[in-house]
Amino acid sequence: MPTYQRLSRFDADWDDLPEELRKRFRKAVRQFIDDLAAGRRFRAGLRVKRIQMTDNVFELTFAPDGRATWHYGAEIRPGEPHIVWRRIGTHDVLRNP
């Protein structure tokens, strides 16, 4: 099972996120975790992709205007991916992922 952490910016963004987007994110994260745990590519509906002009920051689309940014961190449990959640909100978070 993948491990994760949240940056303080993510937590601040989360506090401002409407409940409907929080629900959509939780649903998307369940799928995201399933794909990670299974060791397969992320399903197309999650639209996971690397953010341009970065080496290792990715975005996850969880609503028409809902984005979360993340990167892989150092493994906490050997052999398990570790996700660092960076930002969450509208498409605007991609300006400073």
20, 52, 93 from 58: Cα distances, Å: 22, 9, 12
Fold topology of 3-95:
YaeB-like fold (3.30.2310)
pLDDT tens sequence across 27-73: 999 999 999 999 899 999 999 999 999 999 999 999 999 999 999 99
Contact of 36 with 81, CB cutoff 8 Å: yes
Is the pLDDT at 1 greater than 90? The verdict is no
